[in-house]
Amino acid sequence: MIFLGARWMIVDEPWMLDKVANIERLEMTFDELFEPNINSTLPGYLRQIYRFFGLWVSIIGFFIISFSSPKLTSQEIIRKRLLFCMGIMMVMGTILGYALIPSSHFIYLMWIMNILYLFCIYNHSKINHE
């Protein structure tokens, strides 16, 4: 997540990272979107929004890493709350992905993250039984 967020913040035209899904959602190309004079400031606005989105994604990545230390995850209540929050984020992200951008290559990334999340749930259940 840190890498993905940083990528959205660094790339000059971040909306092109998921070009196919964005064009499908807009039902027009970006050239058509930016062509009218009234939309001349739209690229700067989109860049700003994507940079904030990238920052948000990176912060979530740092949050997960900071709360994944053995000292914190050894406490069951912290582990449960972190898994609960991550679960809500994963389910909602997957639902929104399929509802809003079903042709996006990010759908595959969501499924990889969902599989890793299920692996975390499995390991959590093993910790409780030891």
Tokens (6 digits) for 52: 């904030």
pLDDT at 130 over 60: no
User: What does the alpha-carbon distance between residue 5 and residue 127 come to, in Å, rounded to a whole number?
Assistant: 31
The pTM is what? 0.72
Q: pLDDT higher for 85 or 67?
A: 85
User: What does the alpha-carbon distance between residue 101 and residue 79 come to, in Å, rounded to a whole number?
Assistant: 31
Among 36-45, 50-59, 61-70, 117-126, name the one with the lowest average pLDDT: 61-70
Mean pLDDT across the chain: 88
pLDDT at 128 over 80: no
Say if CB 91 and CB 64 are below 8 A apart: no
* Mean pLDDT, rounded, for 14-40: 91
pLDDT at 129 over 70: no
pLDDT at 32 over 90: yes
Q: In Å, how far are 30, 46, 83, 102, 125 from 54, measured between CA atoms?
A: 20, 12, 22, 20, 32
Q: How many CB atoms lie within 10 A of CB 43?
A: 15
Share of residues in the chain with pLDDT > 70 (%): 98
